[in-house]
Structure 1
Amino acid sequence: MSLAAKFTLVNQCTYTIWPATLTGAGTPGLPASATGFSLLPGATNVLNIPTSWSGRMWARTLCTANSAGGNFSCATGDCESGSVECSGSGAHPPATLAEFTLNGSGGMDFYDVSLVDGYNLPMMVSARGAYGSNAEGVACKSACEAFGDPQYCCSGPNATPDTCKPSKYSEFFKAACPSAYSYAYDDATSTFTCNGADYVITFCPTTTT
């Protein structure tokens, strides 16, 4: 397996989190151990990510299991796999997402932090060693998840950038996290590109710059 990037996941939260990954269709997969694991406060974990990988990463919170280690579930970001490893299952909203496409158009990497599926904890993505072209509630649902309305989900008659505009709900998220995706067509201020980078994904960052 050809390796394109090193992803360092850092937990700056004051509590344990359970990061998870989901590989996009048609791109190289990750080992099961990389699809879900625990990360203690102050701990880091390094993942080696293959060339041309695309997918998303997020953190689960308030996770529990039975005495035998089964029936694993989380209050936020749960992938509903029943185990620590998500193994191809995505996050149940609300969840803050980091989305990546490596070695995409023009050989560039594309990444963003998305609040389209809601918010469960702050997250920051920073590139290292590359050049670029240009995170007291438990969680907050996105307007799409809460209401299921096409005007908030950018679906049906609202499935184009011209017909799906920011709502007062997405603008609330945008004000708090200006670099994060707040709704489906928020590309202009929220998608970043790099070439040949390694990435640091920080949960509960102490700074957003």
Structure 2
Amino acid sequence: MGCFFIHIALILVLLFKGASCATFTLVNKCDYTVWPGILANAGSSGLDSTGFELRPGGSRSFQTPPNWSGRFWGRTGCNFDPNTQQGSCTTGDCGSNQVQCNGGGASPPATLAEFTIGSGSGTQDFYDVSLVDGYNLPLIVDPSGGSGTCGSTGCVADLNQRCPNELRVADRPACRSACEAFRSPEYCCSGAYASPATCKPSIYSQVFKSACPKSYSYAYDDATSTFTCTGADYTITFCPSTTSQKSARDSPPPPSGSESEAGTGEMPLIVNNNNPWFPNFFTGLSSNPHSCPLPLILTLTLIIFFSMQH
């Protein structure tokens, strides 16, 4: 009988201590086609695609594994051969000369959505929208289904219209960062300016911050630009609607250095009505849609293994 309860305990540990996953949905509300690019950071596995075509009104979703980090952005003005899938983009090009970016990052200027997904159930995700590498199109990040502060963030303003003349890109609709335009350590937060104490907002980063107060405007703009959430899915919208723009303006940013108010994220016990000692595998493993439990076949294999030892 003792072995029976050991088996049950093992099942519960395996099933109800799932790791955190996140689903990203990219939506194009622009009146033109956008080619999203995706870059996983070093140590993170790649997603199902690193670049694709997203026509007006279209959407596409991806699920990330636990502990994933990376970035999303939109490429515009792309021209790819339908047969070879080779070509280039006017803004946000990733240098692969293909629809797929294949490990290439966005060529500045580009609006970036950056994420670090929690490593386990109940751990925080960190996310932001960055203009540190400049701006090419409006973008907003909306979390859903999570706990904690979970604010919307992004840049919904058309910075191409407000871009200072010295930051404008002559041959394409994009606004450079001061770092890219002037290559000065003061603007790049490098050299003697490579710390929060020495690198301060510039007149150019303040233009970005005024238009998009929740986005990173320079390298150390952490206090009002980093957001946290636990167990959420994320929608990344290019050219967001009026409703999304209001959400981005009105949702409060998280306090600097604050911890999420998220709960533990533990998965509730689901039992069979006829036998409360045994998990009900057939009515669902969890009410938490962001949990990634181990496959049932692994659990059954472990049961058989431990039974054979007794």
TM over 0.5: yes
Could you list the per-position Cα deviations for residues 22-59 of structure 1 after superposition, in whole angstroms to 9, with x for gaps in the alignment? 0011122223xx21000000111111111110000000
Report what 1:96 is aligned to.
111
Distance 1:67 1:73 in 2: 13
Secondary structure of the corresponding residue to residue 207 of structure 2? helix
How many residue pairs were aligned? 206
Give yes or no for contact 1:3–1:49 (8 Å, CA) kept in 2: no
Report what 1:117 is aligned to.
133
* Offset, 1:3: 7.0
Amino acid at match of 1:63: C
Alignment equivalent of 1:18, drawn from 21, 35, 40: 35
Amino acid at match of 1:56: R
Alignment equivalent of 2:196, drawn from 161, 167, 180: 161
Percentage of identical aligned residues = 59
Amino acid at match of 2:80: A
Structure 1 window deviating more from structure 2 (85-94 vs 134-143): it is 134-143
Greater percentage in strand? 1
* Offset, 1:140: 0.3
Give yes or no for contact 2:111–2:137 (8 Å, CA) kept in 1: yes
Distance 1:96 1:120 in 2: 6
Alignment equivalent of 1:174, drawn from 209, 226, 229: 209
Residue 112 of structure 2 corresponds to residue 77 of structure 1: no
Distance 1:82 1:143 in 2: 27
Could you list the per-position Cα deviations for residues 126-177 of structure 1 after superposition, in whole angstroms to 9, with x for gaps in the alignment? 1000012362661100000111100010000000001000001000011111
Report what 2:282 is aligned to.
none
Residue 233 of structure 2 corresponds to residue 198 of structure 1: yes
Greater percentage in helix? 2
Amino acid at match of 1:196: G
**Unpaired stretches in structure 1, ≥5 consecutive residues:** none
Residue 69 of structure 2 corresponds to residue 54 of structure 1: yes
* Offset, 1:67: 6.2
Distance 2:231 2:81 in 1: 42
Task: Tell me how large the CA RMSD over aligned residues is.
Answer: 1.7
In our comparison, the structure showing a higher alpha carbon Rg is: 2
**Unpaired stretches in structure 2, ≥5 consecutive residues:** 1-18, 162-172, 248-310
Report what 1:189 is aligned to.
224
